[in-house]
Structure 1
């Protein structure tokens, strides 16, 4: 009876694949770092595939294969920062992460989100205005769910409870990228003023909670 022979693994084959994956990860990190630098210093309008490739030291074809086009690269920049932000409020240290009272966590979240939007304002403006409902879903749903849960944990006066879902929308509304860009760029509103305004809004939401506690 003839026994089927199995091919033996080629020496070093797994190592080469591991090296390729590591190289791809390093290339991606260099590309995103170069793109972030261009956006930070020259704006989204200057985000060209050729300039990013040159700054990252990779071929233009590598960018197109990995990101598809300029908008795909822009979304990759948003996604990287967004993952870090969501990790911070879902599992990071308090008061942004778990372990602090609900009111303190809401305030920390809104303050951090204001900085997050301002930090990538042009990219988020492009993403949120691509279609009429582009802002909603995805990250917005994560923010809304997080706030609604925390708002539901606030004590309220006897016989009265505002809808946490509606209040979550109300607190997120001032941080729409188009509104923030308009107020900051056309009217000189500063990030500090935005954050102070959010504190005032939150004080109105939590005043009933304080009186009921």
Structure 2
């Protein structure tokens, strides 16, 4: 059975809440995102936000989830090299560059989410990323422990280095380093 279609007013409120959250993040940083401020900026009651997103972590997760689920769709069904049809090595490079872009584009959100309880949908995304990376590595480098190497590659994007370099305007260097890291993993010893 297909999911119920969202009512027009609910869709409008959802978009207003997400847009207000993005504006508060851009203007005030992580500290500026409170449920009261979001509700006021979106022109909705605080209860509407809690009903729709559950809590602050759910709201913030949804902000990142829009980009993350779009990336997941592109990986699963999009054009190569990110999507199917390209050699595993090319897909691996494209995926890690896209993932680095996702992290860079959501720096404030990622920082906040690290301090919030994990959202249930986060596990679903992480499982997909790990399975995807493992499968690509198994094909491109059958001689390595694909599961562990894949986790290490993803973990390299989750630490303090990415936000530090991105905030200091070194995004080009960061993306070049991601390419070097991936290429070093892809080179057979």
TM class, shorter-chain normalised? 0.7 to 0.9
Query: In the alignment, what sits opposite 1:62?
Result: 48
1:123 is aligned to 2:109 = yes
**Higher Cα Rg, which structure:** 1
Q: With structure 2 as the length reference, what TM-score do the two structures score?
A: 0.83
Structure 2 counterpart SS, 1:138: helix
* Higher RCO (CA-CA < 8 Å; seq separation 6+): 2
Cα 1:122–1:109 change in 2 (3 A) is same
Residue 165 of structure 1, aligned match among 120, 132, 147: 147
Distance 1:52 1:113, change over 3 A: same
Q: CA shift at 1:78, angstroms?
A: 2.1
**Structure 1 segments of 4 or more deviating over 3 A?**
128-132, 182-185
Counterpart residue number, 1:193: 173
Q: What is the Cα deviation at residue 189 of structure 1?
A: 6.3
Cα distance change on mapping 1:183 and 1:191 into 2, 3 Å: closer
Is the counterpart of residue 206 in structure 1 residue 186 in structure 2? yes
> Cα distance, 1:25 vs. partner?
1.9
Residue 172 (structure 1) shift: 1.3
Alignment: residue pair count: 184
Segments of structure 2 that go 5 or more residues without pairing to the other structure are none
Q: For 1:124-146, what per-residue CA distance to the aligned partner results, in whole angstroms no more than 9, with x for missing partners?
A: 223235479x9x84322221110
SS at match of 1:208: coil
Between the aligned partners of 1:82 and 1:45, the Cα distance in structure 2 is 23
Equivalent positions of 1:126-165 (< 5 A) are 126-130=112-116, 137-154=123-140, 161-165=143-147
Question: Could you tell me how far 1:97 is from its partner in structure 2?
Answer: 0.9
1:87-102 → structure 2 map (5 Å cutoff): 87-102=73-88
Once the two structures are TM-superposed, the CA of residue 108 in structure 1 deviates from its matched residue by 0.6
